[in-house]
Chains A and B, each alone.
Chain A
Amino acid sequence: MKIRWILIVYSVISMLGLMMLLSRENVYVVIALVLGFLLLGHREFWSLVRYRRLPVIDERVRNNLTSAMRLTGGFFLIASIVLILLLRFNVFRDTPKELIISGQLVIIGIVYLVGYHYYDRVRPNLGERATRWIKIYLITAGLSLSTIALAIVLHNLVSACFGFEDAFFFILGLLVAPVVLVVSLLGSLAIFIKGLWASFTGVEQA
């Protein structure tokens, strides 16, 4: 019952957010949010249309929702710290602020969507080895993302303090860390897709 009320409050806030975004002519963000809602709540929408009631939120769904919300909350916290750091050092000086915040919201939505599907469909079909690897890949991705932000800040700091163009943090932030990020994201995505595929075929991934 509590979860249902949270979802209702969340939907009302989202509708208000959508109206605000529409009034600011951020149509692309609205499309992304609506698509996200449809993807995430397709079962709920179908049940409302077909049976005129919301589907049961049982303990499995409740556990998955809680885990996905916890994951998204953690990501939101880290993303906000990184974003504040980048804004503080004028990395996005030519980008409108509302575009940055909208981008962050869309990415958070994607993280929630992927997180929920991971707990709902992928994890039950992953063996111990695959679960361990997906964790390693995601931690590496998080670390390399933080390294990019930190390297940009340190590069600017070193250049400003010592008056010469720093090469180490430049290469680290714009070459090494992005490559590691892409590789780890592709690795985790591959395991995610394998697990998702297994949920349809019923073959468990080691």
Chain B
Amino acid sequence: MKEYRARLGLTQEKLAEIVGVRRETIIFLEKGKYNPSLKLAHNIARALEVGIEDIFILNDD
């Protein structure tokens, strides 16, 4: 996610603003310490111009 964000030249703050979350949420997502809802995952994927499966993987646990 960090890679795709950097590719578009977006800061964590800018991405947070686009998808309507706090910057800390982006930090947690990039560290893999927060599981987003499908809606948030979809919004992030759209903002980063990639598919959901490119940045998030489904973990059965």
Set B16, B24, B40: member contacting A59, Cβ < 8 A:
B40
Whether the Cβ atoms of B31 and A202 lie closer than 8 Å is: yes
Whether the Cβ atoms of A60 and B22 lie closer than 8 Å is: yes
Set A56, A58, A61, A124: member contacting B33, Cβ < 8 A:
A124
Q: Kindly report which residue of chain B lies nearest to residue A47, judged by CB atoms.
A: B22
* A10 CB to nearest B CB, Å: 20
Hey, what's the 0/1 contact readout for A45-85 against B, CB within 8 Å counting as 1? 00000000001101111000000000000000000000000
Chain B binding surface, main DSSP class: loop
Is B25 at the interface (CB under 8 A from chain A)? yes
* A22 CB to nearest B CB, Å: 34
Q: Kindly report which residue of chain B lies nearest to residue A202, judged by CB atoms.
A: B31
Is B51 at the interface (CB under 8 A from chain A)? no
Expressed in whole angstroms, the Cα–Cα distance for A58 and B20 within the complex equals 7
Whether the Cβ atoms of B40 and A55 lie closer than 8 Å is: no
Q: Which residues of A contact B37 (CB under 8 A)?
A: 59
Q: Which residues of B contact A59 (CB under 8 A)?
A: 21, 25, 36-37, 39-40
Whether the Cβ atoms of A124 and B21 lie closer than 8 Å is: no
* B13 CB to nearest A CB, Å: 12
Chain A binding surface, main DSSP class: helix
Q: Which residues of B contact A56 (CB under 8 A)?
A: 16, 20-22
The count of residues in chain B whose C-beta lies closer than 8 Å to any C-beta of chain A is 14
Q: Which residues of A contact B21 (CB under 8 A)?
A: 56, 58-60
Q: Which residues of B contact A125 (CB under 8 A)?
A: 33
Q: Which residues of A contact B34 (CB under 8 A)?
A: 60, 124
Q: Which residues of B contact A124 (CB under 8 A)?
A: 28, 31, 33-34
Whether the Cβ atoms of B33 and A55 lie closer than 8 Å is: no
Whether the Cβ atoms of B31 and A58 lie closer than 8 Å is: no
- Listed by A's residue number, 13 A-B pairs whose Cβ atoms lie within 8 Å are A56-B16, A56-B22, A58-B20, A58-B21, A58-B22, A59-B21, A60-B22, A60-B28, A60-B34, A61-B22, A61-B25, A124-B31, A124-B34
With A58-B20, A58-B25 given, name 15 new contacts (CB 8 A).
A56-B21, A56-B22, A58-B21, A59-B21, A59-B25, A59-B36, A59-B37, A59-B40, A60-B24, A61-B22, A61-B25, A124-B33, A124-B34, A125-B33, A202-B31
